[in-house]
Structure 1
Amino acid sequence: MDLGIKGKTAVITGGDSGIGFETAKKLIDEDVIIILSDLKKDELEKAEKELLVYNKEAKIASKACDLNDNTQVKDFAKWVADNYGGADILVNSAGARGAAGDFLKLTDEDWLETIQIDLMGAVRISRAFIPQMQAKKWGRMVMVSSENAFQPYVDESPYNACKAAIINLSKCLSRKYGEEGILVNTVSPAFIETPMTDAMMEQLAEDRNTDIDSAVEWFLQNERPHLTAKRRGKPEEVASVISFLCSEKASYVNGSNYRVDSGAVESAFG
């Protein structure tokens, strides 16, 4: 499908793996210039090589950036402006589960660490790149939230709160900048095969003294019983929705949230 974004420049945070990496592949198929960002330069270089294997004609660059550091974020945005004329598309898939456990045992530091990663990272990267889209009078922003925003899990209260805040932030930005041609939407996945859920399943397997496959099966039955697919989702299934929201085909979609969760969220609304 021609999404009408050939030649556009897309910045993808959390782009060296998981949903961000698969989104890069989808956008490469549309002849979009890809700029990956994440914490580790070596992981980004590895991702670049893999994407060039996927499509040797792909236009790809990368730059390490810690979204917790506002100076780094500003420098990253300037680098994109100086070298690529600014971003047309921003996909913020960077994030982490953060501190988890009994609410009464989580400290201020636990909460603030998660907020810095999962909420303030999105604030900083949006603040840095929106002016570039304003200059072009066109833009697409997609924030990756989570099922946890709608159906919170009791041992992940900081993550739940931050992911709900991401949806609220996206709605706020969509109302502010939509009239300038910058459309902002959110995608909320559930239990996708990513490094974050890999780590969760490894810990669960250790806690239950079992193997990873058995841990996943137990988790599906006991913690995610409403997943109709009865499996973990694939990153490319989320990336397909993100790539649509980045496109001209989504020109009347603004301030919306798309759940990619196989029915994990029990409510019909939200």
Structure 2
Amino acid sequence: MELTLEGKRALVTGSSSGIGRGIALRLAGEGATVIVHGRNADRSRGVADEITAAGGDAEVVTGDLTSAAETDALLDQVIAAGGADILINNAGGRAGGFSPEPVWETSADRWLATYQLNVLSAVAVTQRLVPGMLERGWGRVIHVASAVALHQPPAFADYQGAKAAEINFARSLARGLGGSGVTANSISVGIIATPDSESELQRAAATLGASDWRDVEKELATTVFRQQVPRIGRPDDIAWAVAYLASPRADFVTGTNIVIDAGI
């Protein structure tokens, strides 16, 4: 299926590694000019170099989206270069990492920091870039959320809450943008093998007596994570869905949350 992204500019936040990198490579492969974003300039440039080496077009912006000043500076750069037709709000995570402490021990400071990292940063970027989409009469806003927002495991309540807020923000945004040619959607992601999830996968593998999760991938997927697909997800599993939602082929899709978690 031709996704006809030629001539479109796409900002993918948090695209210097992991799922964001996979999304950036896929959108570039479909013809979009991709603006790679990360906090580390060398890693961000490395992804952009991968794109250009494959014949695509890429730009780089760097900055910490939890800093208002850095966010404004990098968005000034994006807007000056022509704005973005497609915004992928992918940057996020859990402030302080995914240590599995009990819910009642998660501090208020961690709740606030996680919300800032996932929700308020996405709101700030969206508010700056959507006006340009409205002027052009076409645009896509896609939030990369998490399936834990929907099936709450007994830890990480701050992260679950932040991702649920992202899903609801996308739905509210879709209603506000109705009839404008700009759509808003979210994707709730399951277990995906990335550098950030490596420690979680290794901890889970240890419960099966393995030192490397790849050696017990099928059992890990079906027994520990209770998936219906007997493998761990890869970034491209998410990237293909994002590319569809980002394309003109998805003109009829807005206000939707697509769950990609292998049936958990």
Could you tell me the TM-score, scaled by structure 1's length? Answer: 0.89
Identity of aligned pairs, percent?
Answer: 28
Counterpart of 1:267 in structure 2 is none
Matches within 5 A, 1:1-270: 1-53=1-53, 55=54, 57-83=55-81, 85-98=82-95, 100-204=100-204, 210-213=210-213, 219-220=220-221, 223-225=224-226, 227-264=227-264
CA offset at residue 17 of structure 1? 1.5
8 A contact 1:73–1:128 mirrored in 2 = no
Deviates more, 1:207-216 or 1:141-150: 207-216
Aligned residues: 260
Aligned-residue RMSD, C-alpha: 2.0
Q: Distance in 2 between matches of 1:128 and 1:232?
A: 36
Amino acid paired to 1:224: F
Q: Point out where structure 2 has 5 or more consecutive residues left out of the alignment.
A: none
2:160 and 2:216 map into 1 onto residues whose CA distance is 22
The TM-score, its normalising length taken from structure 2, stands at: 0.91
SS at match of 2:141: strand
For 2:225 and 2:249, locate their aligned partners in 1 and report how far apart those are by CA, in whole Å.
33
| One-letter amino acid of the structure 2 residue matched with residue 184 of structure 1 | A
CA contact (8 A) 1:174 1:184 kept: yes
Q: For residues 9-35 of structure 1, what are the alpha-carbon distances to aligned partners after superposition, in whole Å with 9 as ceiling and x for unaligned?
A: 000001112221111222112221110
Structure-2 separation of matches of 1:70 and 1:179: 31
Supply the distance in 2 between the matched residues of 1:216 and 1:116 (Cα, whole angstroms). 33
List gaps (5 residues or longer) in structure 1: 265-270
Query: Closer, same or farther in 2 for the Cα pair 1:123/1:224, shift >3 Å?
Result: same
What is the DSSP-based 3-state SS (H/G/I as helix, E as strand, rest coil) of the residue aligned with 1:154? coil
Counterpart of 1:179 in 2: which secondary structure? coil
The answer (yes or no) to whether the contact 1:191–1:232 under 8 Å persists in 2 is yes
| Separation (CA, whole Å) in 2 of partners of 1:46 and 1:29 | 16
SS for the counterpart of 1:36 is: strand
